[in-house]
Structure 1
Amino acid sequence: MPKQIRVNAFVLQSPVHQTPGLWRHPEDRSVEYNQLEFWTNLARILERGLFDGVFIADSLGTNDVYGGSIEAALRRGIHVPKNDPLLSISAMAAVTKHLGFGITSNAIHEPPYAFARRMTTLDHLTQGRIGWNIVTGHSESGARATGAGLIPHDERYDIADEYLDLVYALWEGSWEDDAVLRDKARGIFVDPAKVHRVQRRGNRFVTDAVHLAEPSPQRTPVLYQAGASSRGRAFAARHAECIFVSGPTAQALAPLVADTRRRAAANGRDPAELLFFSMATTIVGRTEEEAQAKLTDYRRYIDIEGALVLFSGWTGIDFSRVALDEPVRHQPQSAGIHSALDVFTRTDPDRVWTLRQIAEHVAIGGRGPVFVGSPGQVADAIERWVEESGVDGLNLSYALLPGDYEDFGTLVVPELQRRGCFKPGYAPGTLREKLYGSGRARLPRTHPAAEVRRLLMPGLRELQPAP
């Protein structure tokens, strides 16, 4: 049976995400990012197209590396202005029944106790369709915005490990499954004996309280993570269920995917249960000629300076100081996302990229590939990419929003279904059950959250039976 390819939409609540300049296109609606109707309409489009979820990027930082200031980012609309995505999720969930929601939140900047309650609340209100993209921050601007200096790369993951252990305790160990009685006859809403205080005094986080919210359908949201450095892969191998990777070639991604799976197996987890989503963009027409005409049209609107603002922000390197036709070399001391530079300079040794080539690549779709052609040609490219890279699906970016997602759902999904590599419809249940199967609403015993359960409630029956 062919491998089932999974697809998320990859968006940001800002006028520009991965396609600087395309907001000026007459068919693009990205400038409506601050209107609720825009997001509810997008949710309906994605569910009609059978997308597994919408993966919403976010950060508290701004792209101020290029030119040493925020001026270019403001002028080009590159991730600023940018709204808080959590506030639109309830409305998007209200107009859908199956679409999942992957929300980005920073384990350095967000207080864990309040964050845990927000996620449980959203899991209740969406009936178990919430995921959390765990990030640790990479920008000096984000660190300054929250009143602290930028923490060294690997130390950020050490803090995130502590953060995860705390929120696991709140989500998994504070309330027993049958703690909430709702007994009107006796006037008892909760059995106090089945609610447990979480006491933690770590290097960074201190808590002494019960979780404020009763258990939600998933307890712990589906865990997404995007770190591709060696320390990031170790973190993903311990915690993550869905892992976001990005690179311009399948050859650049395959070693990262294989290494993370090996690390997960060493941690006692089933490596096949780690689902990898690769960033990609599709430009599809009913014929190859139509698709190529779209690409030619889109290229009229790309913003090279905007692309360099993005790339400088990702890498922590000011590319305003580099000539466009100069080859880009590896710089091991970069303070940004380590993999953002590596995928162009180290992991694909057969190609040397100039800065202009990187900017042109980044300008439509970011760091991932762009698949252009008829539905059959795009489906061929996706199948080949999945096979060669080892990923399980795509975090699908766009050139035009929401039109490219409508085209994908209308044209490409039926072709993938015909080949037997895309679901015919949504499975019932929570987001985790849609990804892993019926009866898998909660994390399995092999996940480190299960150890938190045992420590908090020794002798208690497992909250989640073994798969």
Structure 2
Amino acid sequence: MTQRKMHLVAFLMTGPTCHHHGAWRHPETDIDGILTPERYEHIARVLEAGCFDALFFADILGIYDTYANSYDTMLERGGQLCLLDPSVILPIMARVTERIGLGLTYSTTFYNPYQIARMLGTLDHMSRGRVAWNVVASHSSLEAKNFGLAEMPSRAERYDRADEVLEACGALWDSWEDGALVLDKKNARFVDPSKVHYANYEGRWIKTRGPLTVPRSPQGRPVIMQAGSSDRGRDFGARWGEIIFTLQHQKSDMQAFYSDFKGRMARFGRAPESCVVLPSIDVVLGETESIARERAHYVNELVHTQIGMACVSGQIGVDLSSHDPDMPLQDVATELGSRGSVDVILQGTEAEGLTLGQAARRFATSELCPQLVGTPEMVADRLCDLFQDHACDGFILTPTTFPGMYEEFCRSVVPILQERGVFRKTYAGSTLRDHLQD
């Protein structure tokens, strides 16, 4: 029986930080090249050399301004900002790589399915079949305002619309059959029109005629990524997802999510192995455990309390600027009342008796996903334990320094995973969907 293989995907953003809001301040982080193509070309090469399944860009279509009713803190302290459009960056990365998958976040709330299908179909051609679409049913009011919406639809409506967008995109991608592009000069046949069809999709919110202008791409359609954690979001992922990105705090949380999600897939006639579940992790490496812990302490201390407060404000939708960072966290929870987003912030920190400022800084180090700290062998042990105990099918790695963490991981942890037979030594196929089926 073939040994089950681990999947690895790198989390990227086009700004100063990903999850760790102190990483950009680290001396080893390249911040000067943040607006240059060389930055993105380099990391694509590093990750492909490490045989990662894919990299993908998270994206935010605005600047958070909940804290103090202003975006000043997010800008000044280097919060989660997306300075560039990833759809322009991915073709640059595709040109300097051959196998690694390339993922893009695109909203079903704001973008028209014809536009989505045309852009992603084109990118799948330009990358020779390596594109993933991270599907988001956007919920942020700040993004809505940037697209001229007075308010966001309800969660149920957003996901119902997202279902229609996926159905419409699928109809558009299928409007060209394989072999439709003939390119026969001698007989003056460029396209076989009998293999091109109208999509004629009509739902409650979405309507498109087609056909798409883009011929069928190498993968037929991009790999679908998704990160919904609500009950409706999990059902959406169970129907469509091939890569599921999830934020879980510890092993038991990962196992519970994994079991629940894989169980849902049968309702949609899908086999559990047709989708990989990848929780997010941060990694800090050192030659010894003590060195790694010193490094983790150093980078974690770079998170400014104010940016932590701003991050939590944006997450829970409540302006915390009038709250004293030194007040007990439990007092804040009592004052704000019960709300799911507050519970997320409190999980894993409430029992420690932290103040609001301490909890906010903790959140801003990794958004409470696990931070694995140790030698390469120790980190490999932890990854294997989670993987083999069916807490996941692999991992989404987020950087604690950039590009250093990825360089160290590929240089020191990947070879250990390869020696243990749980991770590929070379790419077996050429498309991203091939990698997911390794």
Name the TM-score, length of structure 1 as normaliser: 0.87
- What is aligned with 2:279? 278
Verify: 1:326 aligned to 2:355, yes or no. no
In structure 2, do the counterparts of structure 1 residues 323 and 6 end up closer, same or farther at CA, with 3 Å as the change threshold? farther
Q: CA deviation at 1:161?
A: 0.6
Provide the rounded CA distance (Å) in 2 between the counterparts of 1:166 and 1:143.
22
Provide the rounded CA distance (Å) in 1 between the counterparts of 2:304 and 2:155.
30
Verify: 1:411 aligned to 2:412, yes or no. yes
The one-letter amino acid of 2:168's match is: L
Query: Do the aligned residues in 2 keep the contact of 1:23 with 1:31 (CA within 8 Å)?
Result: no
Unaligned runs of 5+ in 2: none
In structure 2, the residue corresponding to 1:258 is in which secondary structure? Answer: helix
**Which region of structure 1 is more displaced relative to structure 2, 118-127 or 196-205?**
196-205
Q: How does 1:123-134 map to 2 (within 5 A)?
A: 123-134=124-135
- What is aligned with 1:78? 79
- Superposed CA offset, 1:386-432 (max 9, x none): 34562111110111100000010011111112222111221122100
Verify: 1:35 aligned to 2:39, yes or no. no
Provide the rounded CA distance (Å) in 1 between the counterparts of 2:148 and 2:39.
33
Provide the rounded CA distance (Å) in 2 between the counterparts of 1:26 and 1:326.
32
In structure 1, the residue corresponding to 2:209 is in which secondary structure? Answer: strand
Provide the rounded CA distance (Å) in 2 between the counterparts of 1:183 and 1:69.
60
The one-letter amino acid of 2:161's match is: I
Provide the rounded CA distance (Å) in 1 between the counterparts of 2:337 and 2:137.
19
- What is aligned with 1:219? 220
Query: Do the aligned residues in 2 keep the contact of 1:136 with 1:160 (CA within 8 Å)?
Result: yes
Provide the rounded CA distance (Å) in 1 between the counterparts of 2:358 and 2:253.
17
In structure 1, the residue corresponding to 2:278 is in which secondary structure? Answer: strand
The one-letter amino acid of 1:161's match is: D
Q: CA deviation at 1:355?
A: 3.5
- What is aligned with 2:425? 424
- What is aligned with 1:460? none
C-alpha RMSD over aligned residues: 2.3
Q: CA deviation at 1:295?
A: 1.6
In structure 2, do the counterparts of structure 1 residues 105 and 346 end up closer, same or farther at CA, with 3 Å as the change threshold? same
- What is aligned with 1:182? 183
In structure 1, the residue corresponding to 2:417 is in which secondary structure? Answer: helix
Provide the rounded CA distance (Å) in 2 between the counterparts of 1:342 and 1:132.
29
The one-letter amino acid of 1:42's match is: I
In structure 2, the residue corresponding to 1:134 is in which secondary structure? Answer: strand
In structure 1, the residue corresponding to 2:436 is in which secondary structure? Answer: helix
In structure 2, the residue corresponding to 1:32 is in which secondary structure? Answer: coil
In structure 2, do the counterparts of structure 1 residues 355 and 394 end up closer, same or farther at CA, with 3 Å as the change threshold? farther
Q: How does 1:274-353 map to 2 (within 5 A)?
A: 274-324=275-325, 325-327=328-330, 329=333, 341-345=342-346
In structure 2, the residue corresponding to 1:320 is in which secondary structure? Answer: coil
Task: Using the aligned pairs only, state the percent identity.
Answer: 35
The one-letter amino acid of 2:12's match is: V
In structure 2, do the counterparts of structure 1 residues 378 and 159 end up closer, same or farther at CA, with 3 Å as the change threshold? same
Provide the rounded CA distance (Å) in 2 between the counterparts of 1:197 and 1:341.
47
The one-letter amino acid of 2:13's match is: L
- Superposed CA offset, 1:246-266 (max 9, x none): 022122232222212111112
Q: How does 1:196-207 map to 2 (within 5 A)?
A: 196-207=197-208
The one-letter amino acid of 1:104's match is: T
**Which region of structure 1 is more displaced relative to structure 2, 138-147 or 271-280?**
271-280
Q: CA deviation at 1:99?
A: 1.0
Unaligned runs of 5+ in 1: 438-467
Provide the rounded CA distance (Å) in 1 between the counterparts of 2:81 and 2:240.
31
In structure 2, the residue corresponding to 1:238 is in which secondary structure? Answer: helix
In structure 2, do the counterparts of structure 1 residues 347 and 366 end up closer, same or farther at CA, with 3 Å as the change threshold? closer
From 142, 150, 153, give the equivalent of 1:151.
153
Verify: 1:98 aligned to 2:99, yes or no. yes
Provide the rounded CA distance (Å) in 1 between the counterparts of 2:136 and 2:101.
19
- Superposed CA offset, 1:20-68 (max 9, x none): 1332222111342211110001111111122211121002132122223
Provide the rounded CA distance (Å) in 2 between the counterparts of 1:321 and 1:203.
43
From 150, 171, 184, give the equivalent of 2:173.
171
In structure 2, the residue corresponding to 1:217 is in which secondary structure? Answer: coil
In structure 2, do the counterparts of structure 1 residues 147 and 81 end up closer, same or farther at CA, with 3 Å as the change threshold? same
Provide the rounded CA distance (Å) in 2 between the counterparts of 1:234 and 1:332.
28
Q: CA deviation at 1:69?
A: 2.3
Query: Do the aligned residues in 2 keep the contact of 1:291 with 1:374 (CA within 8 Å)?
Result: yes
Verify: 1:65 aligned to 2:61, yes or no. no
Q: How does 1:362-441 map to 2 (within 5 A)?
A: 362-388=363-389, 390-437=391-438
Count of residue pairs the alignment pairs up: 432
In structure 2, the residue corresponding to 1:319 is in which secondary structure? Answer: coil
In structure 2, do the counterparts of structure 1 residues 419 and 259 end up closer, same or farther at CA, with 3 Å as the change threshold? same
Name the TM-score, length of structure 2 as normaliser: 0.92
Q: CA deviation at 1:356?
A: 3.9
Provide the rounded CA distance (Å) in 1 between the counterparts of 2:177 and 2:74.
48
